Each structure stands twice: as C-alpha cells, then as structure tokens.
Structure 1
Amino acid sequence: MDFAQELGLLIRARYPLIYVPTAEEERVEGVLTQVARVLGQWGVYVWDFVEGIQGNSNDQGFARRNPLQALEFLDKLPPHLPALLILRDYSRFLEDVAVGRKLRNLNRTLKSQPKSVILLATEVRLPVELQEMVTVVPFGLPTAAELRQELQGILAGLNQSLEPLVLADLVRSCQGLSLERMQRVVGRALALRGSLTAQDVDGVLAEKRQIIQQTQILEFCPPTVTLADIGGLDNLKLWLERRQQAFGQAAHDYGLPYPRGLLLAGLQGTGKSLTAKAIAHFWHLPLLRLDVGRLFAGLVGESESRTRQMIQLTEALAPCVLWIDEIDKAFNALDSRGDSGTTNRVFGTLLTWLAEKNSPVFVVATANQIQILPPELLRKGRFDEIFFVGLPTWEERQSILQVHLSRLRPHTWSSYDLVRLAWETPDFSGAELEQVIIEAMHTGFSQGREFSTDDILEAASQMVPLARTAQEQVQVLQQWASAGKIRSASRHTSLSRRMEQMEEQDYGESSA
C-alpha cells in the first residue's frame, strides 16, 4: 500500500490527527489534494505561521501568526462538511499547553465528523501526551517510476529525448533525491549545456555529496579506484563481475534480490579498503564511508539516534555502497564494555538492519581480526559472502608490482624484473610492495638518477613485513581460511601454494 492509499484509508476511517514527517511540502500537498479529489468533495485548507489560512477566499489570512486560532478554524466549518486542514511546521507549537489541549479536544470531536488534521514537519517531535492519539505516516522519497516520469516530462517540454540506457542510468543515480533536489540538478545541467546527457550523472553524485556533508556521520568518497588497480583477488573479482548488473531493472524483473554485502577479512595492507572503493567504481554507485566511532555520542540515546539517522540517510541515497571500515575495532568484546549497554544497542540496531534491509545498499565491511567479531555478525543473511584477503601469491605480487610501476613509470615499467622482485618479496602485502618502490624512488632521486630493480630489492631487504611481526595473527587468519570458514579472495589453495613454493625454489636455484 503506497502513501496515497494508506492516507485515504485513514481519512475514510476518520483518524482525526495524522502526522506526516517530510521535507517535501509541495509534493506531499499535491498528493493530499489528489486524495481529497478521489474521496469526493473534500475541502483542502492549508495554514502556515506567516500566511495564515489558505484555500478559502472568505478566510484568507485567518489565524496568521496564531497557531491556536488555526485549530479553531475547524469550529467555523459545518460539522457535516468534509475537510482536510494541513498545518505546516506545526511541530514547533506542540509543546504549547493551549495547543496541546485543543488537539486533544479535537481528537474527541472529529471522530464523529468527516475531518482530519494533517501535521507537516521535517521530523517527528511529539509530546508524550499526544503520542497515543496522533498517527504518523512516513512520506518516502520519490520512487524510480516517479523520477522517470518527472525526467520524461522535463524532456518532453524541451522537445528532447534520451537513449533508454542513459535515461535508466540517470534515474538510478537520482534515486535518493527529493524531486526538488532532482529538479535543481536538472536545472543546473540545462543552464550549463542546454540539454540532458550521460555526463549529468556526475552532477547527481555531487548533489548527493552535498547531502552527506550536512550530516557529519557519513563521508562521501569519490570512487576513483578501479578493479584494474588491484592485483590478484581473482575469485573476488569474478564474484563482483557476476553481480555488476544486479541493481538494474532487468535483474529485478528476473526476480533477483539486491546483493546485500561483503565482509572482507585479512591482514592490514592487503587491499581491503582499496577493494571497497573499486566496487563502487565498477558498479557506478556512490561510495559512503562510515567511521563507526562517529555514531557514538555523549548524551544518553544520541548514539542510537545517530545510528538510525545513518540508516535512513544511507537508504535515502540508495543505490549505493556503504563502506564500514575496520568493523572489528568497534564491536569486539561487547559484553565487557562499561557504557551502560550503548554499544550493544548500536550493534543490535545495525545487525537488525543488515538482516532485514531490502533497499539497494551494498555493505562492504572490512576487518583485520575476524576471530574477535561477534558470531551473530558472521552468520549468513548479514552478508552475501565473507572473503579472506590474504597475502599475495608470487603471481599476484608480480601483478601488484606491475600496477604500481605502470602508474609511476608508464613508459619504462617493463624494464624492471618483476619475476625477481616478486620472488625476493615473500610475505609482503600490497601496501608494503608499494612502499618499497617509493623508497627506491627516494634513493634514485637523491642520487640524481632513475631508480632500478636493485634499488627496489635493497629497499625490500631493509623492510620487515607486518606478516613477520604479526605472525600469530596471520596464522589464525590462514587457519580460518584453510578450515573453510571463509572464502579465499584469491585462486589460492594449499596445492597452488605448494606449487608456488616449488617454482620459487626452482627460480632461486637457476638464479644462483
């Protein structure tokens, strides 16, 4: 049941007080007018603090700057006359004793009259004494069909058309915007180029970035990293390629549910965060980063409120990728926290949302120590898959080195001995391979020459990789992966690892 149908049902059932939280006054008032028309000869009257009553020429401006008198306007109407009274921004006046008493009186008298009071406000703020008698009806953001209809109407007015795929991309990128914001984006594009094109998708993302900046909870990350910037992880890449079109209309018509998300576990520096950025770029979705620490606040109940706000904002901007970085640091050892249960409540809210969400929000959580995470987070249903991002194999190290060298030396990268470099850097993560190249560049720059393979090898010999200093942690993660508890992101089994070791041994003997 959509908003118009639900509202029509409540009005016919003579619900006297209805609260609609929304920032889209114009759109919701249009829907209310349509509902009144469907119901029959219902009068629609609007009041705001500055203009007073509107919709009746005899009472134009009545109750200007007088919230209590606005409610008394209903007393002037005949009892048998059907009417809707829309009160804008009325949540600001509900704490007034006289206003609260008048609403409670109307709750009694309007049950026998065909009249309803519609309270409009940007958020729900109800005094305790009114909560029992007021019905809250959320007004959602425009659907994809409504956005498509609005865009097609704008194009028809300009005698323009868009290719179906371009229109579909534009509609998908506009999901999560109000009609007013979408119209602003379109107006900017028309003022800039005089027409709508595929380039306007970037303008839509910029508008969504503006929404994110106003909250201070989420961070909008430009998805500039591609899958080509990540060496190895072939299993994970194949998994992502199979779901590239899963957020489209064709997948929905096929009956596919939206992908839920991934949990990426592994040692620091193995490319988990890079993968989150690459997923957003590969799927052409905005990337939102959640620092779980921003959810927690000092006031009682504020942390839970911020969590709900984060969820509402994320779903409003869907389809999108939500990146929860280092989730293990926020939710380990929950039972030992001395915060009066705040962390447990925040974790419970997040768990419920992960399990029940139907919105096109793809969650990518990263963890360095998966073994300390609560088991309820790891069960199926929260995430589609849990991938182990381990240390790169010999072949993957060659690929990673090629990615970094081709970015830093696009014309001469092939002159470096990638096979030798990969063999000399066992247990090095992708981030550490990048760092040894940068260290070699410093060596070459300080001596006024181009850095060489030997410079990279010298830098690698002086670096102790984290896999050696955190050897116990690495062994625990590898045991999880080898036991089949999590899926490997690389095409890497114990047999392939043994073959790799044999190849490295053969290469070492031939080099000697």
Structure 2
Amino acid sequence: MKLIQRMNELIRACFAGIWIQSHEHLDAIAELSSMCRDEDWRLAVWDVDQGLRHPNGSAIDVEVADPLAAVRAVSSMAADDTPSLLVLPNFHRFIGSAEIVQAISRAVNEGKQHRTFVVILSPVIQVPVELEKLFIVIEHPMPDREQLSRIAAGIATETNEMPTGRELDDVLDAAAGLSRYEAEGAFSLSLVRDGRLTPDSIWELKTQAVKKSGLLSLHRGGQNFGAIGGLDTLKAFTRRALVHRGRSGIQPRPRGVMLLSPPGCGKSEFCKCVGVEVGRPVLILDVGSLMGSLVGQSEERTRQALAIVDAMAPCVLMIDEVEKAFAGASGGGNDSGVSSRMFGTFLSWLNDHDSDVFVVCTANDVAKLPPEFSRAERFDGVFFVDLPGRTQKDEIWRLYVDRFGLDASDPKPSDDQWTGAEIKSCCRLASLLDVSLVQAAENVVPVAVTSSESVERLRRWADGRCLSAEQPGVYRSATKATRRRGVSTKPSIN
C-alpha cells in the first residue's frame, strides 16, 4: 500500500500520532504535501535546521527554534474540523527528555479532539515506552517498478536514451531495491557513461548501496552451472523451478533449497552459480554481521536485512553454513536468547514472505539444525550432496585440468573418497608447484579421511530423509544399502 493511501486512511480514522519509517524524507514530505493539497488539509514541517515552515520552503510567522516549542506549536494549527499535520523529520534525535515525551503525549491526546496530527519521520523506529500506545508505525515503501519507470523516464528524455521491452525490464530489475535518490543517481550515471540507460552502471551503484548497509553482500557475474561437475538432479530441479515454473495459468512462487553435505562437495559454489544460470543477483547474508551490542539491535538488523532482500527481488539469497550462523537457536547458547529470536524472525520471513526470493541454505552438521527449519513449505526441497561418484569425478577433473592449464594426458592420482574441492586443490597445486598431479596429490588429505566419522554420520542421517543431488528421488546411502543386502563393507584381505 502506498504512503498516501495509508496516511489518508489513518488521518480519516483520527490516529493523531503517526511514526513513518523512511530514509527519503524529502520524497515522503512531497507525497504528504500532495495529499494535503488534494484534500485541502493543513501541513507544516519543522526541523532543527530551518525551523517551522510550509513544505514549499516558506517560513511560518510563529517563531519555533527548539524541538519542545515545535511540539507545542501543533495545538496552534487547530482550525474547525480541518485536519492539520505537523511533520517532524529526524525527530527521534530529540525524544530523549521527559519534557518532550510529555509534550508529545499531550499533543497526541489533544489531537484526537482538535484533529491535529503529529507525524514523525525517522529512518529507525525508536518509540519510547511512554508513547508506544499512542503512535502507529508505518513504512514509507521503496519505489516499485512503476515508480522506477517514471523516474527513469524523467531522466532519459532524449531520443534512444530510454530502452524498451526486455531491455527496460533489465534496467528496472537492476534498480529494484534502490531508493528514489539512489535510482536517480544510478540512471544519471548510466546516461553519462553509456549514453542510454543500461543495467551495468546501475548494478555498480546497487552493489555499493548493499555494501553500505553492512548487512549483506552482493555477488554478480562468475560462472554458471557448467562450471560445476555433477549435481545433475539439483541443477535440473533449480533451473526448472526458476525458469520454467508453473503450468498454464498457475504461477507458484519458488521458495528455495536446503543443501546438506560434507565440506567441499560444491554447495557454496552451486549457490553462487545459481544467479548467473537464471539471471538473478545473489545476495549473501552473513548472520554474524547482524549481531549488535545493544538490546534488540540484532533483531532489528535482521529485519532490516530481510527488508533489503525483499526490495531486491527477484534475487537469490544465500546463507552459507546456516547451522553455524544460527548457533544457539536451540537454546543452548549464552546470548540471552538473541540467536533464538533472530532465528525465529528468519523462520517467520521464510514462511510468510511474498517477494520473489529464492533462498539457498547450506549446512555441514544437521545435528545443530532445529527440525522446524527444514519442514515442508519452507523449502522446495532438502538435498543431500554426497561425495562425487566416478562419473562426477571424471567431469570435475576435466573442468579443473582445463581451468588450470594442465596436460589432460597427465595420469590422475587415486581419488578414492575425494570431494570436488580436493580435486580442485590437487589441480591448483600441480599448476602452482609445477609438478604432476600424482605428486600434487601427496599434499591432499581428503576430508572423508580426516572426518570419516562425521561424514558417515551425516550420510546415515540423510538416508531416506533428503533428496539426492545426483539422481532423481530420495537419497540412499550406498553403505546402508550394502549392509541391508548383507554384504560386508570391509575391504577383503588377500
């Protein structure tokens, strides 16, 4: 719902205290001014720099130099039954004294009789406990595609500067999640660089905008599924869900996949390749960066990060090693329940969000994950990525031998129980040290040897519980299948 529509409803319902969370105060004030002009309502704005004024910048006769006087001035705006709005940008900076809190409380309570409204514009929600029941909090939404298209049309005014069709869709996809001010700057930079609106310059500024938040990082470019050996079923499932989704007349929204495997089997590489394969940006959420030192800050930063993700849709959200990211979510940590609350916020979003975000989570230790995390309808599928088989290993050898410029005829070392990461390491070392693959293999110790117990435990857990990343259907552990047939898995002694 747009800001004007929501504000119109609240004012007609006589909510005298309104807190608008917004990073774009000028645009919010412009929208409120337009609404008041159409409805013939009164509007005044006060800030610490310019004092009390009309939205057009003209001063008001009443001298108001401090925030306490600004709050008291709202009573002088009352006239008949005409609604009068006093907008206070960045006023959260002043709600620290008892006098101002009391003045706001009185102004809001009297406002219901006099139809005067206190509207606080702030990038954060910091309503004091004394005012919690008096204020309703709403959000100034980021510009949608229609608004971004209008902004673009207002900047690209010359012939051939404004793309059409699929090119315009790419530009709007690149601008999704930017504020109005950021979008204007991105479009202008694109015109300066390329002479027309193109996605590349916009993506550059968008990457910087995401980095500034400190909550997410943006991965673009790189390689597609062709750079990953094996995982055929997982690749086909993901590609079909994101590219060829829905029957005629039905467009279900893909949710994402959960990947379990021993370390080094290609989970993280797969996550980064998904975006290139389906033409979406990949947002990487580092849960550790969400942690704050103040009470409630971690939960608030989690909500902010998820709001950015929603605004960036369509996109892919990657959370690597999720069991470590939410360590303590099961109640075993000593963080006063912060991890549990962050985890609960993420689960609620995962279940309820309507944005076109494809979530890919990876994990190495399933024992640390609460059972509710992987239940149906949170993910489209939970896949187990086992150690690669012979066919997959041959494909991975070909990829990395070619990538590191090695001789394809060079004999391959024994790769029993090797992961894709270990094959890559062997090829990289062979290139780095200028030795044969067999010699480079002497410096590689597979994780299936160093952590054999944990690998086997993960396989046993995944048997019958997860989908196979290599073959259609449910994953079945080769070890358990052999044991069920009564065949010994121990090597024979000659």
Task: Report the TM-score when normalising by structure 2.
Answer: 0.87
Query: What amino acid is aligned across from residue 434 of structure 1 in structure 2?
Result: K
Check 1:159–1:427 CA distance in 2 against 1; reply closer, same or farther (3 A cut).
Answer: closer
Q: Which residue of 1 aligns with 2:453?
A: 472
Q: Which residue of 2 aligns with 1:448?
A: none
Aligned residues with identical type, % of pairs:
32
Query: What amino acid is aligned across from residue 109 of structure 1 in structure 2?
Result: E
* Equivalent-residue separation in structure 1 for 2:248 and 2:14 (angstroms): 38
Q: Tell me the SS of whatever aligns to 1:308.
A: helix
Q: Which residue of 2 aligns with 1:427?
A: 417
Q: Tell me the SS of whatever aligns to 1:188.
A: helix
Pick from 330, 350, 357: which aligns with 1:361? 357
Check 1:332–1:183 CA distance in 2 against 1; reply closer, same or farther (3 A cut).
Answer: closer
Q: Tell me the SS of whatever aligns to 2:384.
A: strand
Q: Which residue of 2 aligns with 1:194?
A: 195
* Equivalent-residue separation in structure 2 for 1:372 and 1:130 (angstroms): 41
Check 1:405–1:36 CA distance in 2 against 1; reply closer, same or farther (3 A cut).
Answer: same
Is residue 459–residue 477 contact of structure 2 (8 Å, CA) maintained in 1?
no
Deviation at 1:491, TM superposition (A): 2.6
State whether structure 2 residue 297 is matched by structure 1 residue 316.
Answer: no
Q: Which residue of 1 aligns with 2:174?
A: 173
Check 1:159–1:484 CA distance in 2 against 1; reply closer, same or farther (3 A cut).
Answer: same
* Equivalent-residue separation in structure 2 for 1:143 and 1:322 (angstroms): 20
Check 1:160–1:58 CA distance in 2 against 1; reply closer, same or farther (3 A cut).
Answer: closer
Pick from 327, 335, 354: which aligns with 2:331? 335
Q: Which runs of 5+ in 2 are unaligned?
A: 483-494
Deviation at 1:126, TM superposition (A): 1.8
State whether structure 2 residue 370 is matched by structure 1 residue 377.
Answer: no
Q: Tell me the SS of whatever aligns to 1:386.
A: strand
* Equivalent-residue separation in structure 2 for 1:147 and 1:58 (angstroms): 30
Q: Tell me the SS of whatever aligns to 1:339.
A: coil
Q: Which residue of 2 aligns with 1:277?
A: 272
Mean Cα deviation higher: 144-153 or 18-27? 144-153
Mean Cα deviation higher: 28-37 or 299-308? 299-308
Mean Cα deviation higher: 365-374 or 397-406? 365-374
Deviation at 1:173, TM superposition (A): 1.8
Q: Tell me the SS of whatever aligns to 2:88.
A: strand
* Equivalent-residue separation in structure 1 for 2:306 and 2:259 (angstroms): 21
Deviation at 1:480, TM superposition (A): 3.9
Q: Tell me the SS of whatever aligns to 1:85.
A: strand
Query: What amino acid is aligned across from residue 417 of structure 2 in structure 1?
Result: D
Q: Which residue of 1 aligns with 2:234?
A: 236
Q: Which residue of 2 aligns with 1:508?
A: none
Is residue 62–residue 70 contact of structure 1 (8 Å, CA) maintained in 2?
no
Q: Tell me the SS of whatever aligns to 2:141.
A: coil
Query: Pairwise mapping of residues 384-399 of structure 1 onto structure 2 (< 5 A)?
Result: 384-399=380-395
Q: Which residue of 1 aligns with 2:321?
A: 326
Q: Which runs of 5+ in 1 are unaligned?
A: 446-450, 502-512
Check 1:300–1:330 CA distance in 2 against 1; reply closer, same or farther (3 A cut).
Answer: same
* Equivalent-residue separation in structure 1 for 2:78 and 2:461 (angstroms): 74
Q: Which residue of 2 aligns with 1:485?
A: 465
* Equivalent-residue separation in structure 2 for 1:246 and 1:134 (angstroms): 46
Is residue 332–residue 374 contact of structure 1 (8 Å, CA) maintained in 2?
no
Q: Tell me the SS of whatever aligns to 1:195.
A: coil
1:250-272 Cα distance to aligned partner (Å, 9 max, x none): x7995424322211111111100
Aligned length: 476
Q: Which residue of 1 aligns with 2:396?
A: 400
State whether structure 2 residue 40 is matched by structure 1 residue 41.
Answer: yes
Mean Cα deviation higher: 285-294 or 128-137? 285-294
Query: What amino acid is aligned across from residue 398 of structure 1 in structure 2?
Result: D
Deviation at 1:246, TM superposition (A): 7.2
Is residue 78–residue 84 contact of structure 2 (8 Å, CA) maintained in 1?
no
Q: Which residue of 2 aligns with 1:352?
A: 348
Deviation at 1:216, TM superposition (A): 3.0
Q: Tell me the SS of whatever aligns to 1:9.
A: helix
Mean Cα deviation higher: 224-233 or 59-68? 59-68
1:65-106 Cα distance to aligned partner (Å, 9 max, x none): 322332343344452143222222222222233332322222
* Equivalent-residue separation in structure 1 for 2:73 and 2:313 (angstroms): 42
Query: What amino acid is aligned across from residue 162 of structure 1 in structure 2?
Result: P
* Equivalent-residue separation in structure 2 for 1:171 and 1:402 (angstroms): 39
Mean Cα deviation higher: 283-292 or 234-243? 283-292
Is residue 75–residue 107 contact of structure 2 (8 Å, CA) maintained in 1?
no
Deviation at 1:223, TM superposition (A): 4.0
Deviation at 1:299, TM superposition (A): 4.2
* Equivalent-residue separation in structure 2 for 1:58 and 1:139 (angstroms): 25
Deviation at 1:134, TM superposition (A): 1.4
Check 1:338–1:45 CA distance in 2 against 1; reply closer, same or farther (3 A cut).
Answer: closer
Check 1:157–1:119 CA distance in 2 against 1; reply closer, same or farther (3 A cut).
Answer: farther
Check 1:68–1:335 CA distance in 2 against 1; reply closer, same or farther (3 A cut).
Answer: closer
Check 1:99–1:280 CA distance in 2 against 1; reply closer, same or farther (3 A cut).
Answer: same
1:252-295 Cα distance to aligned partner (Å, 9 max, x none): 99542432221111111110010011012223322222233333
Q: Which residue of 2 aligns with 1:287?
A: 282
Deviation at 1:461, TM superposition (A): 5.8
Deviation at 1:437, TM superposition (A): 1.7
Q: Which residue of 1 aligns with 2:299?
A: 304
Query: What amino acid is aligned across from residue 120 of structure 2 in structure 1?
Result: L
Pick from 426, 443, 449: which aligns with 1:436? 426
* Equivalent-residue separation in structure 2 for 1:150 and 1:240 (angstroms): 34
Check 1:352–1:492 CA distance in 2 against 1; reply closer, same or farther (3 A cut).
Answer: closer
Q: Tell me the SS of whatever aligns to 2:418.
A: coil
* Equivalent-residue separation in structure 1 for 2:34 and 2:432 (angstroms): 69
Check 1:393–1:114 CA distance in 2 against 1; reply closer, same or farther (3 A cut).
Answer: same
Query: What amino acid is aligned across from residue 48 of structure 1 in structure 2?
Result: D
Deviation at 1:406, TM superposition (A): 1.6
1:320-379 Cα distance to aligned partner (Å, 9 max, x none): 322211112244672332333232222222222211222222221111122442111111
Q: Which residue of 1 aligns with 2:74?
A: 74
Quick check: which one's helix share is greater? 1
Q: Which residue of 2 aligns with 1:84?
A: 85
Q: Which residue of 1 aligns with 2:162?
A: 161
Check 1:399–1:102 CA distance in 2 against 1; reply closer, same or farther (3 A cut).
Answer: same
Is residue 292–residue 330 contact of structure 1 (8 Å, CA) maintained in 2?
yes
Query: What amino acid is aligned across from residue 307 of structure 2 in structure 1?
Result: Q
